[in-house]
Chains A and B, each alone.
Chain A
Amino acid sequence: MSHPSILVVDDDPSIRRIVSEILAMEEYEVATAPNGAEALLAVEHDRPTLVLLDMRMPVLDGWGFVEALKERNIVVPILVMTAAQDTARWAAEVGAAGHLAKPFDMSELLAAVERLCGAI
């Protein structure tokens, strides 16, 4: 069985880089996207196991991305990951499987990802 694949969507390049590095270390397959629009292309193409999603992004934000997924009848678990105080509320709004408030510990990140991938 291949390793679970994770799509990391965040507009901040340094966060994309470090999150990818941590997940790759745990042998996840990782792809990244800087905004919702590119993430949508990646999801349509690769069907990742899990999407780590920042909400406030240029071009297409987290809400728009989730909306677009629904329109295309694509079902993929989402882990909302933002620096806003409303992380939990936003996660509920888009029907996410989980949420992670920035800044997070590496162990928190890995635990959340493992839990969501394991549940599938």
Chain B
Amino acid sequence: MSAYQLLQLMSQVLFVFITLVVTFRTVRRPLKTNVDTVLLFATIALIVAISWVDQVLGLNPGRVVSAATSSLLMALPYMLVRLVDDFTAPRRAIPRTAAVGLAAAVVSLWVLAPPYPGILVLLCVLYFVGFTCYVAGAFVKAARRSSGVTQRRMQAVAAGSLFLGTVILLAGISAATPSLSNGEGVVMTILGLLSGLFFFLGFAPPVWLRRAWQEPEVRAFLDRAASLPRMPDREAIVHELEQGAASSLGASNAVIGLWDAESGFMQYNLSRIPRELLPDQMIAGRAFITQEPVFSDNAERDDPEHAEVYRRSGARAILAAPISSGEKRLGVLAIYAAHSPIFADDDLLLVSLLANQAAVILESRALIDEAARVKALEEAARLKDDFLSAAAHDLKTPLTTMVAQAQLLERRARRNPTEPPNLEGIEALVKESLRLKRLVLELLDVARVEQGKLVNHREPVDLVELAREACARHSTTLHRYMLDAPGRLVEKYDSMRIMQLIDNLLENAAKYSPAGGDVCVRIRQDGASALLTVMDPGIGIPAADLLLLFDRFHRGSNVDDRRFSGMGLGLFICRGIVEQHGGSIWATSTGIGQGSTFHVVLPASGPINLASRQNPSSIDVEQTG
């Protein structure tokens, strides 16, 4: 056997081998793409088989054999075009033209006897070369759009098609110019073997090669994924994973469904719209239920119920794999592809790999979330403990005096029944019990602020009147309250709570101001807002405390706890009252010792009340105690 014959035999064996591999694959997964691949290689194998039978029998190629071989050869471009048709959306005209060309060639080959006229050979060669070039081009284009294994395999198929076309081109040239035929036989055989090799790499690559081709994609995905668990929220992670998976597979879209065991629903984000579906719904759901990768080359056919969803997402084919961490089912990853992937098995393997990575990422995120949740719970428990012990401490102080004072009064009364009542002791008892009452009410209000139940009954109430009453009530020899307000400002508020708010602000103003300091109270209406301002000449507020001041238990850092009694709840309750009215409260201060101003904005009904603002002599009420 000459080297030439060995080469020929090798390429023949190679094509038969490829045929067996793709046939085996198709039996396992009878997809249209796989069937078309088998048809292509079965045609080549048949040509090879005919030539072997021919050689064994030692017959001169007869007319029938010659016509059959030529017809099968002419079928190859058409088979390749069918394959292209499966994974891209070519113009319908191209497969049709190929079919018409094939029919014309076959009819001519059977009708005319060899030797065939030169024009027929030329047309056949043109037909063959033209379509193999088109196919190679289509695969190159598709390869550019895809990535990883699929890209490499498409490139290999493109090369195989080109070599095949070249073989036929050379065959045509040698037929036209018989004088050159000797040298070209070897070249053609080598090109044929190369074509076979590239088809082998494209259609039946060995596992190690696939792994090597896959690695960069997986690595790129992992590089991207490494920082994901630290992203601000789970939605962002899911979005990044979806994008990464889609680009790794060169697909248009990827969707992750997250399993919520509590609700029993799978949570998807379809075209940015959150949707909750039962776990068995959609093709992705099948992967979740079976915990196996699922492939559909026609989503609308396989799941007509959600055809609309698939159409909108441009998903013709779907590759889905379960996202699971050991026994724990986390969800599912689905890749939406505009065209059925030609190498579904590889893509499915990659999807499974990515789904496993997604599981790792989602699990670490869940651990981070859990740690944060535990920390928040601990923090909440600590705050509650702090609150309870602070509350207990503050309640015990007046209680201590009350118990001791009451027992002292009792003992004295028993020892000297005739002695006049100790009025001073009784007054102390009353004062301390009022202090206790106030603390208890404050604590109850804190609970109501937290439940959002502070504000209840709303009725028309005159804010100016409330402020005027409060100024009169709080005025003492130590502090004067100057009211600057329009005649009336009637709005629907919870009058008890608004009164409590004003009382609290006025008390604070006096409490933190030196004796003789005047407090300015101003009320204005500005469009749909009622503005209340309380300005004092007191100790001021450090800038760092301006916002924190309204938090539970927070007191200004310049407030001497013991000089100024209080639990640090007053402003917290004030904020609750204002916010539950739909308003806002804040404080300003030019600095320590420079006085403070508290601003309250409450919603008002707007210009209807303007008439009441017309009162030009917004009277300055001066009240002294």
Using a CB–CB cutoff of 8 Å, the interface residues on chain A facing chain B are 11-12, 14-15, 17-19, 21-22, 25, 34-35, 56-58, 83-85, 102-107, 109
Q: Would you call A58 and B404 a contact (CB within 8 A)? A: no
Q: Which of A17, A21, A25, A103 contacts B396 (CB 8 A)?
A: A103
- The CA of A44 and the CA of B393, in the complex, are separated in Å by 30
Q: Would you call B396 and A106 a contact (CB within 8 A)? A: no
Q: Which of B396, B405, B560 contacts A83 (CB 8 A)?
A: B396
Q: A15-B401, A18-B405 are in contact. Are A83 and B428 (CB under 8 A)?
A: no
Q: Does B408 contact A (CB under 8 A)?
A: yes
Q: Which of B400, B428, B431 contacts A102 (CB 8 A)?
A: B400
Q: Does B496 contact A (CB under 8 A)?
A: no
* Contacting residues, chain A, for B561 (C-beta < 8 A): 58
- The CA of A107 and the CA of B425, in the complex, are separated in Å by 18
Q: A11-B562, A14-B431, A106-B411 are in contact. Are A85 and B389 (CB under 8 A)?
A: yes
Q: Would you call A104 and B408 a contact (CB within 8 A)? A: no
- The CA of A83 and the CA of B397, in the complex, are separated in Å by 7
Q: Would you call A106 and B401 a contact (CB within 8 A)? A: no
- The CA of A106 and the CA of B407, in the complex, are separated in Å by 6
Q: Does B47 contact A (CB under 8 A)?
A: no
Segment 403-452 of B: residues with Cβ below 8 Å from A: 403-405, 407-408, 411-412, 425, 428, 431-432
Q: Does B57 contact A (CB under 8 A)?
A: no
Q: Is the interface of A mostly helix, strand, loop or mixed?
A: loop
Q: Would you call B393 and A104 a contact (CB within 8 A)? A: no
- The CA of A31 and the CA of B401, in the complex, are separated in Å by 18
Chain A residue at smallest Cβ distance from B431: A14
* Contacting residues, chain B, for A18 (C-beta < 8 A): 400-401, 404-405, 408, 428
Minimal beta-carbon separation of A87 from chain B (angstroms) = 10
- The CA of A109 and the CA of B400, in the complex, are separated in Å by 11
* Interface magnitude class on chain B: 20 to 34
Q: Would you call A109 and B397 a contact (CB within 8 A)? A: no
**Between-chain CB contacts (< 8 Å), 19 pairs:** A11-B562, A14-B398, A18-B400, A18-B408, A35-B562, A56-B393, A58-B562, A58-B563, A83-B393, A83-B397, A84-B393, A85-B392, A102-B396, A102-B399, A103-B399, A103-B402, A103-B403, A105-B404, A106-B411
- The CA of A39 and the CA of B398, in the complex, are separated in Å by 22
Q: A14-B431, A15-B397, A83-B397 are in contact. Are A104 and B563 (CB under 8 A)?
A: no
Q: Would you call B396 and A105 a contact (CB within 8 A)? A: no
Q: Would you call A83 and B400 a contact (CB within 8 A)? A: yes
- The CA of A18 and the CA of B560, in the complex, are separated in Å by 23
Minimal beta-carbon separation of B348 from chain A (angstroms) = 63
Minimal beta-carbon separation of B564 from chain A (angstroms) = 10
Q: Would you call A14 and B562 a contact (CB within 8 A)? A: no
Interface-central residue, A12, A18, A104, by most chain B CB under 10 Å: A18
- The CA of A102 and the CA of B397, in the complex, are separated in Å by 7
- The CA of A84 and the CA of B393, in the complex, are separated in Å by 6
Q: A14-B432, A105-B407 are in contact. Are A84 and B398 (CB under 8 A)?
A: no
Q: Would you call B408 and A22 a contact (CB within 8 A)? A: yes
Chain B residue at smallest Cβ distance from A22: B408
* Contacting residues, chain B, for A12 (C-beta < 8 A): 397, 401
Chain B residue at smallest Cβ distance from A14: B401
Q: Would you call B562 and A104 a contact (CB within 8 A)? A: no
Q: Would you call A83 and B392 a contact (CB within 8 A)? A: yes
Minimal beta-carbon separation of B394 from chain A (angstroms) = 8
- The CA of A72 and the CA of B512, in the complex, are separated in Å by 37
* Contacting residues, chain A, for B396 (C-beta < 8 A): 83, 102-103
